Amino acid sequence: MVKPQVERQNTPSMEDYLEAIAMLRGEDKVARVSQISQKLKVKMPSVTSALRKLSEKELVLHQKYGYVELTTEGDKMAKDIIRRHKALSRFFTEILDIERETAEEDACKIEHVISPLGLERIIKFIEFVEACPQGEVNLPKRYKHYLEPGELPEDCLGKGLRERK
Amino acid sequence: MVKPQVERQNTPSMEDYLEAIAMLRGEDKVARVSQISQKLKVKMPSVTSALRKLSEKELVLHQKYGYVELTTEGDKMAKDIIRRHKALSRFFTEILDIERETAEEDACKIEHVISPLGLERIIKFIEFVEACPQGEVNLPKRYKHYLEPGELPEDCLGKGLRERK
DNA sequence: AGCATTTGTTAGTTACGCCTAACAATGTTA
DNA sequence: TAACATTGTTAGGCGTAACTAACAAATGCT
């Protein structure tokens, strides 16, 4: 992998752990090693060692054989990761019309590497598209029409690509 | 990092090397270890060891102290990576209005992790937006207007988000 | 309470991908 | 062509992050 020019404070892996813990704390009540292991499809020893690192960074609280809590700092980070994830996932499903599962997978990977600006612009873009349908039929629907029957909408004033049937 | 459910044939790092070699072969005439090293901001020994791996996989031809060639297979892969890169880079610059450098960085990272479907949909989306301006002012310009003065275009029929000044 | 199952930990291994230091080949030029 | 600079390689090390095997604690059941 190419060396990041600005050292990331947390690796994608660590972010996945934080995210998983936060999500479990939402769904169930407590996060346990076994749960995290299942959610991330990783064996338990991997979780134990990740938790040790996150503890050292004061992002989680975890004592042996106990359950896992996020510190204030860890929770803040987790919330941000989830925010990124949700934005990307919405973009893929709502704008690009990709089915949930693939959208989730892509979001899961991209959330760790996209720049803050890239993310903000995607959020703004969703906002914009939803706020501004531009005609009776909104952009996602029009785009879907382009994907599906493969035709441009009639009220489309564009030149170029007209010949593509 | 989360274990990929389907084992990727090449790692992001290997893809970066293939991409760099193909790009050098375009720009200059021959790809040398030093050039690859510079382009990827990695020391030369890292390049040597990467080339060994790529040679084993029959993706590059490289004999000691010689320059580097792509095999037919390697070239095919490289071309696909570059295709992904270009699509993403266009999306970030032309649709999301992100400056070249950040767009390139994001493209560089995302190209390795996005799903084939995600990529195709982004390509289609660019196509669609360019083919279908929807009004005198095309979508990117309208979006930019939303970003810049922070206002929705006048001809926007949307509800919601109206109150955001 | 006692034993079994589940859950979690430690220890040790592997692979990747970068690094530095040292050495070797190549190329340049006096 | 001999000396020097550049380029490339090997060897060895480090951090991350996964894994298995073996052991230990906690839980659950009778």
A1–chain B nearest CA distance, Å = 4
Residue A13 has pLDDT above 80, yes or no: yes
Nearest to A98 among B110, B121, B158 (CB): B121
Nearest Cα residue to B116 out of B104, B124, B105: B124
Nearest to B110 among A113, A124, A161 (CB): A113
pLDDT bin (cut points 50, 70, 90) of residue A96 is confident
Contact between the CB of A108 and strand D at under 7 Å: no
Amino acid, res. A141? K
SS (H, E, C) A69-114: EECHHHHHHHHHHHHHHHHHHHHHHHHCCCCHHHHHHHHHHHCCCC
Task: Give the rounded distance of the alpha carbon of B105 from its chain centre.
Answer: 8
Asked if B146's CB is within 8 angstroms of A121's CB, the reply is no
The strand D neighbours among B residues 57-116, by Cβ under 7 Å, are 62, 64-67
What pLDDT was estimated at residue A75?
95
Chain A residue numbers with beta carbons less than 8 Å from the beta carbon of B115 are: 102, 105-106
Residue A65 has pLDDT above 50, yes or no: yes
Q: Name the 3-class secondary structure at B153.
A: coil
Tens digits of per-residue pLDDT, A109-159? 999 999 999 999 898 888 877 776 655 556 666 555 655 655 555 555 544
Chain B residue numbers with beta carbons less than 8 Å from the beta carbon of A132 are: 142, 146, 152-153, 156-158
Residue B74 has pLDDT above 80, yes or no: yes
Amino acid, res. B129? V
Q: At what angle do helices A44-56 and A33-40 cross, to 10 degrees?
A: 110
Query: What average pLDDT does the segment B93-122 reach?
Result: 93
Query: What average pLDDT does the segment B16-26 reach?
Result: 95
d(CA B88, CA A122): 13
d(CA B128, CA B140): 12
Asked if B161's CB is within 8 angstroms of A95's CB, the reply is no
pLDDT bin (cut points 50, 70, 90) of residue B27 is confident
Contact between the CB of A56 and strand D at under 7 Å: no
Tens digits of per-residue pLDDT, B46-69? 999 999 999 999 999 999 999 999
Chain B residue numbers with beta carbons less than 8 Å from the beta carbon of A156 are: 131-134
Residue-range domains of chain B with CATH: 12-76 (1.10.10.10), 81-132 (1.10.60.10), 133-165 (no CATH)
Nearest to A125 among B40, B96, B160 (CB): B96
Query: What average pLDDT does the segment B17-43 reach?
Result: 93
